[in-house]
Amino acid sequence: MKGLYDNEMQLEFSSKTCNEAFARISVAAFVSQLDPTIDELSDIKTAVSEAVTNSIIHAYSKDESGIVKVRTRIYKNQVEIEIEDFGRGIENIEEARKPLYTSKPDLERSGMGFTIMESFMDELKVESTLGVGTKVTMRKEIKSKENKKNEINIESKQI
């Protein structure tokens, strides 16, 4: 399977809220080898932040002994990020993916986590089994340097 991707990194950490920033920054640093734009990098960081926060808050509640795994793979000009937990799981994935749905209204959660992930990434897949855990897989294409140059030239000509 290793021949399918160009590079991979994995993280595993305790389900403590302070580790959300660690995951976000680590993934961003790893993805930086693709030379993403600031917007592309910001999108990835936001999506990772939402996925990790969901794992910490919803999968484990206040149990900081849970484990969150982050696996990031690079395929040519595409990044794939998996965020996996081994917590309670999601009872109804379709309902959970609806904007404004939250299973934790007492914590003043906005219910926009999956919506944000979906809007900032090109693909979002959610797999979950009650009592076993949840895996969120996100993909985003990083535009090539040549495509970025072409976009800048087109924008310059329009001005």
Q: Would you kindly state where each structural domain of the chain is located, as residue ranges? A: 2-158
Active site residue 155: no
The question of whether 50 is a catalytic residue gets the answer yes
Annotated catalytic residue within 8, 82, 97, 109: 109
DSSP secondary structure of the chain:
-GGG-SEEEEEEEES-TTHHHHHHHHHHHHHGGG---HHHHHHHHHHHHHHHHHIIIIITTT-TT-EEEEEEEEETTEEEEEEEE-SS--S-HHHHTSTT--S-GGGT--S-HHHHHHHHSSEEEEEEETTTEEEEEEEEEPPPHHHHHHHHHHHHHH-
pLDDT in tens, 66-101: 999 999 999 999 999 999 999 999 888 887 777 655
pLDDT digits (tens, 9 = 90+) for 21-58: 999 999 999 999 999 999 999 999 999 999 999 999 88
Q: Give the domain 2-158 fold.
A: Heat Shock Protein 90 (3.30.565)
